[in-house]
Chain A
Amino acid sequence: DTAVSQTPKYLVTQMGNDKSIKCEQNLGHDTMYWYKQDSKKFLKIMFSYNNKELIINETVPNRFSPKSPDKAHLNLHINSLELGDSAVYFCASSQGVVGGEKLFFGSGTQLSVL
C-alpha cells in the first residue's frame, strides 16, 4: 500500500494547456504539501494545507491552484502552462504542521511542457 500516491507519474503537454495532478495519502496525516523540484534537483515548497486549510502559499503564480477536498487529498491544478513549469512535482504529508515533523513524499509527477 502506497502511503502517499500521486497521479499521473508523467505528464507531457503543450504550452497554454490546463492540467491537474492528484495526490492522496492514507497515513491519516493532517497536513499535505506540494513541492517543486527543478532540473538541478532543488526542492522548493509551493503550498501546504492543514485539515483542508491553506497554511503556506509560497510566492507561486496564481496559475497554480491547490484544492483540498478533504484532509487525505491535495490536488494541484495548473492553468495556462508555461515552459518554465516543467519540473518534477512532489506531494508530501506530515502528521501535524511542520515544526518537528518529518514529511512523507510521493514518487513525483514529471511535468514536461512543450
Chain B
Amino acid sequence: GESVGLHLPTLSVQEGDNSIINCAYSNSASDYFIWYKQESGKGPQFIIDIRSNMDKRQGQRVTVLLNKTVKHLSLQIAATQPGDSAVYFCADANDYKLSFGAGTTVTVRA
C-alpha cells in the first residue's frame, strides 16, 4: 500500500497568506522526501526535497519540515500567490521508487 498520505484533500488560502500542507508517512525506513506541484493539464513539477538527516530545508518561498519522530512532513508556502493554485503531492523514496500521497488541492482566493 501507499506509504505516504496527506491530511487534507483541499486547502483554501487567501492571497498573501502563508499555506501549510501536511503529509504523514508510514515507512520509517524512508530517507528521502519530495514535494511536487501539479498544475491543471501538466505533469508534476519538483518543488523541494529533504533527506532524513535534516529536519528543515528552505527554498524560494517554500520550506519543508520533517519530523521523523511522528513521521510527518509539511510544506510551507510563504505569501501565497494565485500561481500557487495547484495540487501538491508529497512523496517518499524507498525500494528504488517514489511513492506519492493522494494530493492536496490548494486554491488561492483573491
Contact = CB atoms under 8 A, between A and B. Distances in A.
Contacts of A44: 100
Main secondary structure of the interface of B (DSSP, over half): strand
A68 to B, nearest CB: 16
Contact of A48 (B38, B43, B49, B96): B96
Contacts, number: 62
Contacts of A102: 34, 46, 49
Interface residue tally on A, bucketed by range: 20 to 34
Given A102-B46, A107-B43, A41 B93 contact: no
Contacts of B41: 107-108
B55 interface: no
In this complex, which of B44, B46, B97, B103 has the most chain A Cβ atoms within 10 angstroms of its Cβ?
B97
A104 B31 CA distance: 19
B96 to A, nearest CB: 5
Given A40-B102, A41-B102, A42-B102, A98 B42 contact: no
A87 to B, nearest CB: 14
Given A103-B46, A107-B43, A98 B93 contact: yes
Contacts of A101: 93
A76 interface: no
User: Max chain B CB contacts within 10 Å: which of A44, A92, A98?
Assistant: A98
Given A55-B96, A100-B51, A108 B42 contact: yes
8 contacts: A40-B102, A43-B44, A43-B89, A44-B100, A98-B96, A108-B41, A108-B42, A108-B43
